[in-house]
Amino acid sequence: MPIRRTKRGAERSPLGGDYDVVVCGASFAGLAVARELAGAGRVLLLDRYEIGERQTSACAAPTEWLTALGLEPSIRQTFGKLVVHTPHSTARFPLPWTFSTFDYPELCALLDDQNDADFETAKVERRGRAGDAVEVHTDRGAVAAPLVVDALGWRRVLSRAGYQPPDAPLSRGLEVHPPGASGELEIWIDRSLVPAGYGWSFPARDEVRVGVGSFDPHYHVKDPTVDLAARLRREAVRYQGNWIPHKLRRAVDDEMFFAGDSAGHCLPLTAEGIRTALYFGIALGRELREVLEGRATRAEALRRYGAFSDDHERKFRWMLRAQRAVPRMPPRLLALATRGMASRAFTHWAFGHYLRIAPPEFARAARLPAAPVEEPLAA
């Protein structure tokens, strides 16, 4: 069991006060928002755990994203190929860019160094109103700010309409972290493991993150995870898992902002949600900075950031279609398809487009690209 360093007993003094921005959730999305607000105002970051204390992912992301944010020291291993196994084939996809696995506590510490927000451990429970400001009620009291961000993950605690698994558009993910080493980033698309989903083995220098994700939230992944670990002769130790959203949700309501898993910003099919949490978190942080520096109102920030997120809806919808189609392919056709797609030309084309859904240059750009306003998504 991981050791919790969350404040206990007398350390849990009451929380209160007014801030310019309250960012709830201090993982990828929340830390990205806070980074963009450095020096711009009084910002409070809240999380139920200490920063970096609780990892919930295999922690693999495009290397360029990690370097763009100065997070290279957290990188554990880098891969230029993705190995895809099906029951009838093994294909090696030569990637046009690399993926890296990283150390979660170290990455969070590096990202946290880039903000000047106050940080408190508190469990966020619900929201209220204090005049024009939004009140965030926690187990240590309430704080208020005109600008409040929910970066709390799939549960979207501060939303008026919550998600209830297993009857929500969520996938299940579970993995183990045995010690060991390997040179290959591997995935398995195999119905004997999981009817709709995939298994993975992501090495990170001295440990291997082996897990299974099911797109069907009703399908339990504990046994498949143990099964995959056994197939790979790895120990099933150090479990961690979570629900993974696979549908975009509205990233704003009438007064609040949502980023990362809380806005369904995790990509369907691949369940890649770190890059997108950073991307949308940065976009949101830039909008909030405009407000703090007097160049925009909250209403304008709500409209612009909401439109920016909505503008990605078509790409997310396509990824969701692919997520539904792949498990329906007959295994022999799937084998043929993966072998055919492993050509350099196809891989470069497909993975190039995939990276551009949330491109690493964005981390370096100074301002949001103009976003056309589309039909708003249902909250």
Ligand X SMILES: Cc1cc2nc3c(=O)[nH]c(=O)nc-3n(C[C@H](O)[C@H](O)[C@H](O)COP(=O)(O)OP(=O)(O)OC[C@H]3O[C@@H](n4cnc5c(N)ncnc54)[C@H](O)[C@@H]3O)c2cc1C
Contact set with ligand X (CB under 6 A): 25-30, 46-49, 54, 56-61, 123-124, 151-153, 155, 157, 173-175, 211, 241-242, 244, 260-261, 266, 271-275, 277
- Strands (E) located in 219-361: 240-245, 257-258
Q: How far is the CB of 369 from ligand X (least distance, A)?
A: 22
Give the 3-state secondary structure percentages of the chain, helix then strand then coil, rounded to 5. Answer: 30, 25, 40
Q: How far is the CB of 333 from ligand X (least distance, A)?
A: 27
Q: Classify residue 122 by burial, with Cβ atoms within 10 Å: 0-12, 13-18, 19+.
A: buried
Q: How far is the CB of 17 from ligand X (least distance, A)?
A: 17
Q: How far is the CB of 125 from ligand X (least distance, A)?
A: 7
CA dihedral 378, 273, 113, 158 (to 10 degrees): 30
Quick one: 200 or 335, whose CB is closer to ligand X?
200
Q: How far is the CB of 132 from ligand X (least distance, A)?
A: 24
Full DSSP string of 192-237: TT-SSEEEEEEEETTEEEEEEEESSTTS--HHHHHHHHHHTT----
Q: How far is the CB of 294 from ligand X (least distance, A)?
A: 28
The single-letter DSSP state of residue 315 is H
Q: Which residues contact 105 (CB under 8 A, 6 or more apart)?
A: 52, 53, 55
CB 102 within 8 A of CB 207: no
Quick one: 22 or 277, whose CB is closer to ligand X?
277
Q: How far is the CB of 305 from ligand X (least distance, A)?
A: 15
Peptide bond into 166 cis (omega under 30): yes
Q: How far is the CB of 66 from ligand X (least distance, A)?
A: 11
Cα–Cα distance for residue pair 26/102, rounded to 1 Å: 17
Quick one: 244 or 302, whose CB is closer to ligand X?
244
Quick one: 331 or 359, whose CB is closer to ligand X?
359
Dihedral angle sign, alpha carbons of residues 335, 340, 342, 348:
negative
Quick one: 161 or 333, whose CB is closer to ligand X?
161
Quick one: 247 or 339, whose CB is closer to ligand X?
247
Helix (H) or strand (E) holding 300: helix 298-310
Quick one: 127 or 289, whose CB is closer to ligand X?
127
Quick one: 258 or 347, whose CB is closer to ligand X?
258
Q: Classify residue 252 by burial, with Cβ atoms within 10 Å: 0-12, 13-18, 19+.
A: buried
